[in-house]
């Protein structure tokens, strides 16, 4: 089959590209390298002014949707009214579902998602060659994919991740699962949760880990024991689910014990002012650095300099939580031992005293103890680092895992 005649996989994203969603750009790039033709549809323009090198290699064209509901209404009507006139029964069925979903949550965004889907069907899909729609994140991108499927007749599937699962109305999510051809999620913890809320169990739900580029995150074999001042490292968005206050409280405990250390955080987010205030309150300004959002090169360099990676994940008040933070896998592949928490799917990769140390969330004292164990106990440190690297290389290499996802998409006609 000529490249021009190949069916195309349409992928709907919340935003593209995004520095914090490297796992998505890596997936797209790997699928392209396997021969897939892809057309990207993004609901938002990029937040950052730079991107990872992997994004620059992606060949897929990108279309951006109108972002708001009222300002682009003229554009929406220009592309939705012809669909209503051409296939009134189909459009009214989709509109009926939108009303049903609105009455559940009272969120007008559901009408925006319908109108965005009409825009996709009327403006983007013709001549695109798209044969199947897939979306990343179970909330708004999958709402657009679901309505696009209804209006176009194309099948759709989606990948569910973390916040999109646990902060969504379960009735809305169950409806999407029922209408999808298949669902993918990145942890077994997520898969079991989605199976419980699915309406009838007829839609297959697959667990496919994201994995990482183990060649990019290849660490050194340096087994030398760290010496004070210990170099501690965290990569995280400044949001509640990352448990950053627990980390800084643990660092204060270490300081009070007379431990010398330097802590570096790469990341930004809505809670930045609160985090800075906490650091000041604890008197840790001279021992901590915040570098903001950074590209892979800076992250890799920081891993190489670090003695330990630490992250205090917890369940936020709104139910938001991590799945398996990719930074754990990256650190483990780099040979940098990890201290984390037993939240969500983290124990699927961070196995206590085998591939890392795990403590309860919101437990600064336990975290401080675990940090010191991995910094000072040579036998444990060496075993954890070796086991962690072996686990990532055998079970979380993205070039292996992408084959499982490719099989699903090929079975769907792309």
Q: Which residue has the tokens 């298949």?
A: 182
> What pLDDT is stored for residue 222 in this prediction?
64
Angle between helices 378-395 and 364-376 (to 10 degrees): 100
> What are the CA-CA distances from residue 383 to residues 4, 111, 165, 329, 348 (Å)?
51, 54, 35, 16, 18
**Is it the case that residue 394 has pLDDT exceeding 70?**
yes
> What are the CA-CA distances from residue 113 to residues 99, 110, 272 (Å)?
12, 5, 31
CATH 3.40.50.2000 placement within the chain: 3-211+397-411, 230-395
For residues 52-72, average pLDDT: 93
- State which fold the 3-211+397-411 domain adopts: Rossmann fold (3.40.50)
Task: Name the H helices within 334-377.
Answer: 364-376
pLDDT tens figures, 178-192: 999 999 999 999 999
Strands (E), 51-148: 62-64, 130-136
Residue 288, both tokens = 């901590």
pLDDT tens figures, 304-346: 999 999 999 999 999 999 999 999 999 999 999 999 999 999 9
**Is it the case that residue 25 has pLDDT exceeding 70?**
yes
Percent of the chain with pLDDT over 70: 98
pLDDT tens figures, 271-311: 999 999 999 999 999 999 999 999 888 999 999 999 999 99
For residues 26-51, average pLDDT: 93
Query: Pairing between strand 338-341 and 357-359?
Result: parallel
**Is it the case that residue 404 has pLDDT exceeding 80?**
yes
Percent of the chain with pLDDT over 90: 91
Residue 139, both tokens = 């909330």
d(C-alpha 153, C-alpha 294), whole Å: 41
Structural contact between residues 341 and 323, judged by C-beta atoms closer than 8 angstroms: no
Structural contact between residues 186 and 324, judged by C-beta atoms closer than 8 angstroms: yes
pLDDT tens figures, 229-282: 999 999 999 999 999 999 999 999 999 999 999 999 999 999 999 999 999 999
Q: Residues 307, 362, 210, CA angle at the centre, nearest 5°?
A: 60
Please, what sign has the CA dihedral across residues 30, 22, 320, 175?
A: negative
**Is it the case that residue 2 has pLDDT exceeding 60?**
no
Which DSSP symbol is given to 216? Answer: T
309 DSSP β-pair partners: 233, 338
> What pLDDT is stored for residue 395 in this prediction?
95
DSSP 62-80: EEE---SSSTTHHHHHHHH
Which of 3.40.50.2000, 1.20.1730.10, 3.40.50.150, 3.90.650.10 would CATH assign to domain 230-395?
A: 3.40.50.2000
Q: Which residue has the tokens 């140390």?
A: 357
Among 168, 161, 210, 211, which residue's Cα sits nearest to residue 189? 161
Q: Which residue has the tokens 């437990």?
A: 363
**Is it the case that residue 49 has pLDDT exceeding 80?**
no
Q: How many CA atoms lie within 13 A of 36 on its CB side?
A: 31
């Amino acid at each position: 089959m000529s490249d021009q005649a190949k069916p195309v996989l349409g992928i709907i994203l919340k935003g593209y590209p995004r520095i914090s969603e490297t796992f998505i750009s890596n997936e797209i790039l790997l699928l392209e390298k396997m021969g897939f033709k892809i057309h990207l549809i993004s609901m938002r323009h990029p937040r950052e002014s730079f991107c990872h090198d992997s994004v620059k290699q992606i060949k897929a064209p990108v279309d951006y949707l109108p972002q708001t509901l009222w300002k682009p209404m003229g554009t929406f009507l220009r592309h939705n009214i012809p669909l209503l006139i051409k296939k009134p029964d189909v459009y009214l069925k989709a509109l009926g579902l939108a009303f049903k979903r609105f009455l559940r949550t009272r969120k007008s965004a559901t009408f925006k998602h319908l109108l965005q889907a009409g825009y996709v069907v009327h403006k983007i899909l013709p001549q695109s060659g798209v044969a199947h729609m897939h979306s990343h994140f179970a909330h708004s991108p999958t709402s657009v994919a679901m309505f696009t499927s209804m209006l176009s007749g194309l099948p759709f599937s989606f990948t569910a991740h973390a916040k999109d699962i646990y902060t969504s109305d379960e009735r809305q999510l169950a409806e999407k699962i029922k209408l999808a051809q298949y669902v993918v999620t990145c942890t077994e913890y997520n898969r079991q949760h989605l199976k419980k809320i699915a309406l009838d169990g007829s839609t297959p739900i697959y667990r496919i880990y994201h994995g990482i580029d183990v060649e990019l995150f290849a660490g050194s074999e340096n087994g030398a024991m760290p010496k004070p001042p210990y170099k501690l490292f965290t990569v995280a968005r400044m949001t509640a689910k990352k448990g950053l206050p627990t980390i800084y409280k643990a660092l204060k405990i270490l300081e009070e014990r007379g431990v010398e250390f330097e802590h570096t955080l790469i990341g930004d987010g809505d809670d930045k002012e609160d985090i800075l205030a906490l650091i000041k309150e604890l008197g840790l300004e001279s021992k901590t650095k915040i570098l903001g959002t950074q590209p892979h090169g800076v992250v890799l360099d920081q891993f190489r300099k670090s003695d330990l990676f630490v992250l205090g994940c917890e369940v936020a008040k709104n139910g938001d939580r991590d799945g398996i933070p990719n930074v754990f896998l990256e650190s483990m592949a780099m040979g940098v031992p990890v201290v984390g928490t037993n939240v969500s799917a983290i124990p699927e990769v961070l196995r206590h005293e085998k591939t890392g140390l795990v403590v309860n969330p919101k437990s600064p004292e336990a975290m401080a103890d675990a940090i010191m164990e991995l910094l000072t106990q040579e036998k444990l440190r060496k075993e954890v680092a070796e086991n962690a690297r072996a686990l990532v290389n055998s079970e979380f290499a993205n070039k292996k895992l992408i084959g499982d996802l490719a099989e699903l998409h090929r079975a769907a006609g792309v």
